[in-house]
Chain A
Amino acid sequence: MKHAAPTRTLLALYTAMVAFVLIAPTVVVIPLSFTDKASLTFPPSGWSTRWYENFFNDPAWTAAFGNSLTVALIVTVVATAAGTAAAVGVSKWSRKRMAKAAQMFLLAPIVVPSIILAIGVYAIFLRLQLLGTLPGFVLAHSVLAVPFVLVSVSAALAGFDDRLTTAAASLGADRWTTFRRVMLPLILPGVVSGALFAFVTSFDEVVLSIFIKSPYLETLPVKMYASVTRDTDPTIAAAATMIMLLTTVIIAVGLLSMRRKKIA
């Protein structure tokens, strides 16, 4: 669509304004993390990297960071496998109404307020003694991550020609081989973006994690939340900056590599 020059200028201004409102609160964290004062002041009066040093020298912070990475990596594997299997299953279900219902059920975790989910998970984990354990974190985060995988793999499957599986069967391939050699390579972009979302979902999950953490096992966002309520120490800004960069890089790399694959 072509617009007159004044309209275009206005549109650009408006877009810039919306972008600023969206991004500014996030970007403010970066200068905050380089302050030389022991409190969160904006704009910072002097510059230093002491809060990054503090982050990496404090075993509480590095442990939380390590925990977050470990949990997120395992969740990525678990949720991607489960979500992909669910998406394939739902797409092959010949009773469409049941398939739709199953899909809605699987998507529920992103619709239900996480605080409600958190209370339920807490009650069950208490009984099963999963609170503050690695399997507990992986399980809880996977529940939240599966819907993202389901959505992105389902979208990829919509573009998959199911007649190729029939052809593969006629050529002697069993179902598993057909999935591995024919379906998976063709829906891989959807699986990869689902996996990235799963990682990010787990890595910055906070509400559920506060409920299921223990003094022995807590993730980075939980530690940050505790830190901001207790000591308001700029280390949190350093941590936030690193989380932001990590997730941004992951998503950007994922999207770019997928785009390259499509062009090829």
Chain B
Amino acid sequence: MPDKTPGAGTRIDVKNVTKRYAKSTAVDDVSLSIEPGEFITLLGPSGSGKTTTLNLIAGFTELTHGSIEIDGQRVDHVPAHKRGLGVVFQHYALFPHMTVAENIAFPLQQRKTPKAAQAALVASVLQTVGLAGYQDRFPKELSGGQQQRVAFARAMVFNPRALLMDEPLGALDKNLREKLQLEIKRIHQDVGRTFVFVTHDQEEALILSDRIAIFNNGRIEQVGTSADLYERPASLFVARFMGESTVFKAQVSSNGSDWHMDFHGSTLHGPVTSTVPGKGALVLRPEQLRVAESRADAPAGSAAVPVQVIQNIYLGSGHKYELRLPDGSTGIVRTPLTERTSLRPGDSAYVHWPAHQGVLLEDNDLVSTT
């Protein structure tokens, strides 16, 4: 079994890495420091460069510029089979002509582990992934979830410096995926290794990760804990990708200490905390917003914008409103049950919030409304 010493993980540094193909740039000047023992997720839509970045770390793809260091040593010209990293693939990639035990023993044979030790390691890792007794089966005799457990066992059995996973749960159904997510998290806590996980599913990223790196168009938009990304998104892309949000877009002016924007007749403002963009986008999370039937019902000094109710959904734990903003875009509000309203679809209302809340970001959308 892998070494269980806490903090025994490996540090991985991706420094200014670019991967260019003939006609496209898959990864564009990406830098990322992965801490020892950390569970980091590379999250982004398909084609955002997250899988290419993982392949560059694993050594399956040659980088165009930059460098990759594992525990301070440059590895970008070390072939994949000498990097000592475990990799789990979305498509399992089990060897169909070998039994479960032979598959798992394969990395041990490459490392010239003595036969007796191999058998003990295989049995032990099969126990860990809950497949004791399956050692003589062939991959095609197993279900998808069982095959992926074998793939995990095979990638972990040789005590790799870090475990890289490329959408390992992507091919499984929802229930199984949720079960395996918890198992992966448990295994990570047990072995204390560095885990690098790729997914396009933000919920999965939130469940598993210590930190998340958000990829978009071959670049990293932001790296941080889930709370960082949700509460302090660095870009409009991150704000939209991580959870629901309502966005108010307008020209922004600043007097040095406060910024102001005129959103279709409503004045919005807040304290200046960083560079004030020209075209601004004020982002608010559904829990930060409230709905009032009239302007007078909103607390004095709060920011308020007139809206039209599209839907008022009762969720048991509270209400969820979908609102039409004056610029035609959709807003989302979640309120606790204590703040019941009798608003129906089509009604006019006000959405309001304490004026200092929200994150002001640059409006870098190509089309003004989405």
Q: Which residues of B contact A186 (CB under 8 A)?
A: 96-97
B154 within 8 Å of A (CB atoms)? yes
Assembly CA distance A167 to B106 (angstroms): 11
Return A240 CB to nearest CB of chain B, in Å. Answer: 41
Inter-subunit contact B155/A170 (CB<8 Å): yes
B310 at interface by CB-CB < 8 Å = no
How many B residues touch A, CB cutoff 8 Å? 25
**B166 CB, nearest partner CB in chain A, Å:** 10
Stretch at the interface among B35-43, B81-89, B244-252, B362-370: B81-89
**Docked-complex contact B93 and A173, CB < 8 angstroms:** no
**A136→B48 CA distance, assembly (Å):** 57
Comparing A73-81, A112-120, A137-145, A174-182, the segment that makes contact with chain B is A174-182
Q: Are A164 and B81 neighbours in the complex by a CB distance under 8 Å?
A: no
Given contacts A172-B84, A182-B95, contact A166 B60 (CB under 8 A): yes
User: Which residues of chain A have C-beta atoms less than 8 A from B82's C-beta?
Assistant: 172
Residue of A164, A170, A173, A181 near B87 (CB, 8 A) is A170
How distant is A103 from chain B, measured CB to nearest CB, in Å? 22
Which residues of B lie under 8 Å from residue A181 when comparing CB positions?
106
**Interface assignment of B91: CB less than 8 Å from any CB of chain A:** yes
B contact residues around A59 at 8 Å (CB):
none
Q: Among B81, B91, B154, which residue has the most Cβ atoms of chain A within 10 A?
A: B81
Question: Which of A164, A167, A177, A185 is in CB contact (< 8 Å) with B110?
Answer: A177
Among residues of B, the one whose C-beta sits closest to the C-beta of A178 is B81
Complex contact B89–A171 (CB within 8 A) = no
Per the 8 Å Cβ criterion, residues 78-128 of B in contact with A are 79-82, 84-87, 89, 91, 93-97, 106-107, 110-111
Known: A170-B155, A171-B158. 10 other contacts (CB 8 A): A166-B60, A166-B93, A167-B89, A168-B106, A171-B86, A171-B107, A172-B84, A172-B107, A172-B111, A177-B110
17 intermolecular pairs with C-beta atoms under 8 Å apart: A163-B89, A164-B95, A166-B60, A167-B93, A167-B95, A169-B60, A170-B80, A170-B86, A170-B155, A171-B81, A171-B86, A171-B106, A171-B107, A171-B155, A173-B81, A174-B81, A181-B106
Interface residues of A (CB under 8 A from B): 161, 163-164, 166-174, 177, 181-182, 185-186
Write the residues of chain B forming the contact surface with A, with a CB cutoff of 8 angstroms: 58-60, 79-82, 84-87, 89, 91, 93-97, 106-107, 110-111, 154-155, 158
